[in-house]
């Protein structure tokens, strides 16, 4: 019995790959990269709010829009929203600090959904379809992990999993809850 067990261990060790080259990039890694690149659109949306880039209104005008929605002071909340979109979007696109980037996206999208929830689901009627999709992508990328084509690939949180998804969803939800609790409160 001991001899058979030793032969099995030896054959498993000798069957192990001896190459030090990393495995080739898989279709799943490329697919995750393509999915994460949606973060660039969100980062651009944040740059519109903060800096007026890409035809955006800039911080002052965006702040006035936020005030009209009940977020006071508008410039403060426009800055938080724009920074969350810019940093969260770039983080997802790069696969950098993925759970934190996903949390930023989830938090700002929960706020966007709360603003548009009275209009139903579909975007053509002003509903929350688009922010819901972005939040779901952020949760999924956090749960799956950013893939091998990411800056997080060598870190524990870059592997995805339940904890990564829980951190993203929990921190995003807490951040959104704090902002929503302050909505309408003049600071």
pLDDT tens-digit map of 130-148: 999 999 999 999 999 999 9
Asked whether the beta carbons of 143 and 33 are under 8 A apart, the reply is no
First to last CA, the chain: 75
Cis peptide preceding 22, ω within 30 of 0: no
Asked whether the beta carbons of 89 and 72 are under 8 A apart, the reply is no
* CA 131 to chain CA mean position, Å: 12
- Please tell me which residue, 176 or 6, carries the higher pLDDT value: 176
CA-CA distance, 7 to 5, in Å (whole number)? 5
pLDDT tens-digit map of 10-57: 544 445 555 677 678 899 999 999 999 999 999 999 999 999 999 999
pLDDT of residue 12: 44
pLDDT tens-digit map of 44-100: 999 999 999 999 999 999 999 999 999 999 999 999 999 999 999 999 999 999 999
- Mean pLDDT value across residues 103-125: 94
Helices 38-51, 129-144: axis angle to 10 degrees equals 120
The number of CA neighbours under 13 Å toward the Cβ of 175 is: 23
Task: Provide the 8-state DSSP code for 22.
Answer: P
Asked whether the beta carbons of 96 and 151 are under 8 A apart, the reply is yes
Task: Provide the 8-state DSSP code for 118.
Answer: G
CA-CA distance, 8 to 120, in Å (whole number)? 61
């Amino acid at each position: 019995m001991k001899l058979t067990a030793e032969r099995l261990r030896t054959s498993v060790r000798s069957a192990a790959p001896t190459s030090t080259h990393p495995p080739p990039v898989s279709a799943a890694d490329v697919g995750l990269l393509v999915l994460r690149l949606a973060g660039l659109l969100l980062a651009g949306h944040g740059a519109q709010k903060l800096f007026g880039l890409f035809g955006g209104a800039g911080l002052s005008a965006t702040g006035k829009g936020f005030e009209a929605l009940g977020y006071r002071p508008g410039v403060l909340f426009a800055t938080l929203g724009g920074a969350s979109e810019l940093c969260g979007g770039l983080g997802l696109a790069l696969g950098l600090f993925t759970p934190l980037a996903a949390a930023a996206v989830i938090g700002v999208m929960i706020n966007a959904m709360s603003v548009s929830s009275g209009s139903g689901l579909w975007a053509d009627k002003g509903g929350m379809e688009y922010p819901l999709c972005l939040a779901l992508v952020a949760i999924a990328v956090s749960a799956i992990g950013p893939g091998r084509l990411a800056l997080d690939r060598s870190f524990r949180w870059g592997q995805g999993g339940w904890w990564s998804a829980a951190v993203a969803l929990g921190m995003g939800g807490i951040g959104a809850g704090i902002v929503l609790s302050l909505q309408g409160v003049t600071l």
